[in-house]
Amino acid sequence: MTQELVKYYILDVVADNCLDIATDKSGCCVLQQCVEHARGEPRDRLIAEITANALVLSEHPYGNYVVQFIIGLRIPYITSDILSQLAGNYVSLSMNKYGSNVVEKCMKESSEEHAMQIIKEIIGSQNFLAVLQDPFGNYVAQSAFAIAKGSIRHAMINLIQMHYSYLHSHPHGKRVLARARGSKQRM
């Protein structure tokens, strides 16, 4: 067997076991290296497997790193596919220890249009106050301030001000409130 065939076979086995490998402490690093060094169809298959499992991986202690790595590649159609997999789940992901990092990466590494869609989903949720008060969600909200523009930014600030009475004495809410106040003063 040639070296190229062996490499192809190994990547095929990795793709077949992608979810198990991505959720393993060492496996998540190995999988990232496989994606980085693979080319052509084997790489496409690995990325397709990761994308198909993006939601499950985003909430996992090790799997979230794999999703963040794929988003960090900044390949627009792949990022778009991952964002589609995560759409409708940004609020729950924001309040997840691991998922919150994925949401922040999505907002920072995707197009402005995609970032605004994520922010709209979060601020349009009936659970927006819970996100602001959450130990992880408040960081997502603060990151959203750094990214949000125009009417979305104004809407976010207004919603936070509306919830002042719930935020001013809450340990995590205070951080978001301070960020909103600072943003309002700079406008």
Residue 80: closest CA among 54, 119, 98? 54
Cα 166 to Cα 133: distance, rounded to the nearest angstrom: 9
**Do 5 and 79 share a domain, yes or no?**
yes
pLDDT value, residue 90 = 98
The stretches of 73-163 forming alpha helices (DSSP H) are 76-86, 90-94, 99-109, 112-123, 128-133, 137-147, 150-162
pLDDT value, residue 185 = 43
Could you give the number of structural domains in the chain? 2
Domain that holds residue 134: 93-187
Taking residue 176's Cβ as centre, other Cβ atoms within 10 Å add up to 26
Last residue of a domain, one of 86, 108, 125: 86
**Do 61 and 100 share a domain, yes or no?**
no
**Do 68 and 107 share a domain, yes or no?**
no
Last residue of a domain, one of 56, 86, 116: 86
**Do 123 and 162 share a domain, yes or no?**
yes
Cα 169 to Cα 40: distance, rounded to the nearest angstrom: 54
DSSP tag of 60: S
Last residue of a domain, one of 39, 64, 86: 86
| pTM listed for this prediction | 0.92
Successive 10-residue mean pLDDT values, the chain, 187 residues: 85 96 98 96 96 98 98 97 98 98 97 97 97 96 92 93 88 84 53
pLDDT value, residue 164 = 87
Cα 72 to Cα 138: distance, rounded to the nearest angstrom: 23
pLDDT value, residue 183 = 56
**Do 41 and 131 share a domain, yes or no?**
no
